[in-house]
Chains A and B, each alone.
Chain A
């Protein structure tokens, strides 16, 4: 790094709260203010001023400001984006409605598919056609654009998606449409699919482009207003935006490709988990974030969260694959399931306990909140099993009523099963933990990963309550529980690398790769990505990482193979084949002889070196007691032992770094409790993290009966 970014600011806009984190030298200051949905910049500015005040600094002292937001995601979920039109190839008006022609639930006769973002009346076509190699089959005729502009204006369209068949192979036709639209309709935003998502598969590409167009007016105007407000308070530092892929991008790029900003909050959480692991010297992690309504699980290899190039947003049947809009952008890959503290439990017609995805949310909340909730939730079960101290929950701000929990569990679960109350509560926790374990395993197999050799990083309000049992189920021997910062994603943003990824499809068998063409394409992609980084930091030292997505000819799913950061040579073809074969065997046990190998897409990530790792900050804590005594005792149910065990409760801040706590035990703090099951020991490390290690006597795995 050529300049020292000593004062770094981050803001994360969530649905309810806007979180601010400010780090200066070795100190961190935070602020949490209510989100102001109509003008989100107001909440951000309020929070920034509050954090600056706490730090005794002025806006001019800030060297860099990193921002993430759920605004784009919420606009898609709540359908509050712009009136959008789509211009596409004649004969293909309905690509975004026809989709993949399947049903996401095979047994739901009343299934409803998500409405397309663009109504059919605003899906307009132009005569033109490209072939798969980008050659022109029918030259484009732009005459109808004039009439289309009249239609769009009459309908109040403010944003236009342009998506033509095979435009990933040749963007010229789309560019011609874009230029004509800029002339005739200069007030409208235009998104070209060859720019937003230059990848094969028309449904996914066009959906991504329509989604980009749909959120663009909203996001671009918000971001410009924010920039103005920042200038007004004298905060002239560069503004960088957190992307779903875990990198950072510039204001102008974010205004052009706002779809890349969705899910930036969870990405911040995964980056924070990677950072926590790195500080403990462990690189291969499973990050486990469990809040009130969902749990998110992410695999981290070598301190880098796994990336994917597609995900679904706004699932209509919650969490069911296929019920949302497919979006193809670089994204930190996570599984999200409907498992949180507020997830509701019931008994189904087979006499099985089911938990989630329905949630009691914050109103009325779990039965124990005493706000009228009558259905049992995971939090109610945690309370009955002795994991939560009813008087200390959420720092004592909500007094929990265990009687209501017991009544709700009895009425909806244990009486229906004919079991003891505690068995019902244990069943609720076991089912939700098993759901999370199964989701983790299926996710791991999809990526060819093994969860067992990993360290779990558990964060979010409900995660520490369930982490140890989840680790037992997954065969994981170590769990790290960082101190809750309350503003986790915003802190994660401060750890994000300044990096930008570009992906392009270029289809070829590797035996007949046009090496020169690929190298030219890489040069263009690096130039494109570098320009984004340079805009943020003109002096940055750049580093690029190249990869290719390969598969056997005839298959439908690709494997990413890393390349060296240099132009390809003629003799790399064989090395590529070898690298692919090894990766394939690692994933699926067997290689396929006689099958050709083909490349589908090429990717480059350009990152600024040096900026990713800010200096580590030791969290300043009140003076620790040398040897903590239990503050109380709890009757804690232990899944492995199958009994209630009289267990000590320790106050987290009172535990010394030299103290070893043997489970079953509870470590309590203001915002949550960490359950140490009978197979784990707990200690506090120099960072203030709780470290759970499986006991070495072999009880770390397997059941007591």
Chain B
């Protein structure tokens, strides 16, 4: 190799770093300009850059594994709807197709072509969760996707620099929060603009006319690195199944993971069929969370792109709950989709070289609380209409050498919204939000604790809970002798138990009581160091009675 080509190798590395920095800037811009609290406070968004074949080259590391492959696939669909040769400078395209986007109508995907001296060189894509997209609201009660809200097929949001006001007006007219919806869509366009600007600057600096060589390098290197790590694992097939609450009936999630040479395939044959409620998962979203479950244990340091994702393939039978077809309702697809890393862990745990954690809460315990129309609940006077999505979390499973994390999102990586912020945008009042003692599954390494949360309305009127909560009947299971985490619970302050799924009313004067699940334990509880048990008792994380029972402590 001569000095010149060696130097261009170094520059290829530098440009790869730069590309990752470009998409981080793109994501930062979205966080700072978004209106939905779930985006700006919690980080439910994604941003990435693609080559002209729709292959993802870099993606910002945000809190949403569900967007990993789904956004990557989505851009290919955009290229079918808007072939590269028809794209014009100043165009911006949009869709919220759950099957060709990121899994439900609330997620808008926006794509912007990047031009260098009049030639198309790359595509920028981003996605975020809108506060409201019409329909019956954000919950699993829709009977089909039509009831779940406004559907935008692949459309031009901006046509050669001219904003599509008709489209904006339709969105505004169909959302309960028109200003926020418009603001969020424009923030998606703005963040792509920043990405395009930075990419063009980079290409001018490095005198690149095309990204082709760089793309090949990124994809080949990444694929080779992931394949090398997979090749080190023994070939074989490993099956695992997990039962969760579901809506109308329990749901079985069954996976067979096959390591063969340098690829991993996961098939969900044997899983339950589609639900009549909106907890169905489009395949693209199931693929995203399954892939994340593998990647967090195999080659976690390789960045996400078309190359690193390629060696992992995920399939599911048509019309099973993980491959539901249009027009199945899919609004709350996350509660099932987020369970998939636990199912994948169940398979990988059978390979000695891999040590996954015990099961955890896994699905976000999002509390969607609304007070739509004050006339409907018979109240007199004017009370604030509100729609709040309060991200809440349970415990994560114990790990091979560490306790599980308490009150932490996993596999989703989003953040909670501060109590003081929720109370500043709604009349809601939290009566408490604390760790929940004895909810961490006993183990050598204890599961993380869930939370005890109570919420009331300061206005003397009803409010609604759109429940999409799981692990109430089927708690997280322990690993290697660890015990199950605490089951979740949702009910009223007056004592009545509520259902984990569906729209229910909290009557005026009453309040909502939520116990989020705890993570399961790892390893036999009797092996837990005694000083760790004593410290848990001191800190009120484990009661003396539970310590005596679960850990044989003090006996």
Q: Mark B10-36, 1 if CB is under 8 A from A, else 0.
A: 110110111001001100110111111
Query: For residue B392, which residues in chain A have a CB less than 8 angstroms away from its CB?
Result: 101
| Cβ-defined contact, A92 with B205, below 8 A | no
Residues in B with CB closer than 8 Å to A446 are 28, 32
With an 8 A cutoff between CB atoms, is A556 at the interface?
yes
Give the CA-CA distance A297 to B33 in the complex, in Å: 24
Check if B183 sits within 8 Å of A595, measured CB to CB. Answer: yes
| Interface footprint category on B | 35 or more
A102 pairs with B409, CB closer than 8 A: yes
A to B contact number (C-beta, < 8 Å) = 235
Total interface residues in chain A, CB < 8 Å: 78
Asked whether B431 lies within 8 Å of A91 as measured between CB atoms, the reply is: yes
Q: Is B401 in the interface zone, CB < 8 Å from A?
A: yes
Most chain B beta-carbon contacts within 10 A, residue among A109, A427, A705: A109
CA distance A90 to B430 in the complex (A): 11
Tell whether, in the assembled complex, residue A102 and residue B421 are in contact, meaning their CB atoms are under 8 Å apart: no
Check: B368 CB closer than 8 A to any chain A CB. Answer: no
A98–B407 touching, CB < 8 Å: yes
- Contacting residue for A441 out of B21, B190, B207, B418, CB 8 A: B21
A137-B429, A441-B25, A702-B205 known; A97 and B302 CB under 8 Å?
no
Look across to chain A and name the residue whose beta carbon is closest to the beta carbon of B540.
A120
Minimum CB–CB distance from A588 to chain B (whole Å) comes to 5
Interface of A is mostly: loop
**A200-B424, A446-B28 given as contacts; is B11 within 8 A of A703 (CB)?**
yes
Question: How many angstroms from the CA of A372 to the CA of B151 in the assembled complex?
Answer: 65
Q: Of B198, B429, B433, which one neighbours A92 at CB under 8 angstroms? A: B433
Q: Are B179 and A348 interface neighbours, CB within 8 A?
A: no
Identify which of A419, A593, A705 contacts B1 (C-beta below 8 A). A419
The contact of A430 among B10, B300, B434, by CB within 8 Å, is: B10
> Which residue in chain B gives the minimum CB-CB distance to A419?
B6
Q: In the complex, are the beta carbons of A595 and B301 less than 8 A apart?
A: no
Taking a contact as CB atoms under 8 Å apart, the answer to whether B302 and A349 are in contact is yes
Instruction: Identify B415's interface contact among A101, A349, A445, CB under 8 A.
Output: A101
Q: Provided the pairs A102-B413, A557-B32 are in contact, do residues A419 and B9 lie with their beta carbons within 8 angstroms?
A: yes
CB pair B21 A121 closer than 8 Å: no
Contact between B423 and A132, CB atoms less than 8 A apart:
yes
Residues of B within 8 A of A120 (CB): 435, 539-541
Chain A contacts for B473, CB-based, 8 A: none
Q: Which residue of the partner chain, among A132, A427, A594, A642, contacts B424 with CB atoms under 8 Å? A: A132
Q: Are B421 and A442 within 8 A (Cβ)?
A: no
Interface window among A30-38, A110-118, A309-317, A689-697: A110-118
Q: Within 8 Å of chain B (Cβ to Cβ): is A16?
A: no
A352 and B4 contact, Cβ closer than 8 Å, known pairs A554-B180, A702-B204, A705-B207:
no
Residue of B nearest to A106 (CB): B413
Q: Assess whether A701 is interfacial by the CB under 8 Å rule.
A: yes
Nearest-neighbour CB distance to chain B for A202, whole angstroms, equals: 5
Establish whether residues A91 and B432, one from each chain, have CB atoms under 8 Å apart when the complex forms. Answer: yes
Tell me if B538 and A121 are in contact (CB < 8 A). yes
Interchain nearest-CB distance for B253 vs A (Å): 20
What 1/0 flags go to A615-632 for Cβ under 8 Å of B?
000000000000000000
Interface of B toward A, CB cutoff 8 Å? 1, 3-4, 6-11, 13-14, 16-18, 21, 24-25, 28-29, 31-37, 40-43, 61-63, 65, 131, 177-180, 182-183, 186-187, 189-190, 193-194, 198, 204-207, 221-222, 225, 228-229, 295-297, 299-302, 356-357, 391-393, 399, 401-402, 405-410, 413-416, 418-421, 423-424, 429-435, 451, 454, 458, 538-541
Q: Please list 22 pairs of residues, one from A and one from B, whose beta carbons are closer than 8 Å in the complex, sorted by A's number.
A: A97-B435, A101-B408, A102-B408, A106-B61, A106-B413, A111-B405, A113-B408, A131-B423, A202-B420, A350-B225, A351-B221, A352-B221, A419-B6, A426-B10, A438-B21, A446-B28, A588-B29, A594-B179, A595-B179, A703-B11, A705-B4, A705-B207
Report which A residues bind B (CB closer than 8 A): 90-95, 97-98, 100-103, 106-113, 119-121, 129, 131-132, 137, 165-166, 200-203, 348-353, 417-420, 423, 426-427, 430-431, 434-435, 438, 441-442, 445-446, 473, 475, 507, 552, 554-557, 587-590, 592-596, 642-643, 701-703, 705
- List of 6 A-B pairs having minimum Cβ-Cβ separation, nearest first: A91-B432, A556-B40, A438-B21, A120-B539, A101-B416, A554-B35
Taking A121-B538, A427-B10, A441-B198 as given, write out 14 further A-B residue pairs in contact, using a Cβ cutoff of 8 Å, ordered by the A residue number. A102-B43, A102-B63, A107-B301, A132-B424, A200-B418, A352-B221, A442-B24, A475-B205, A554-B180, A556-B41, A557-B33, A594-B178, A595-B179, A701-B205
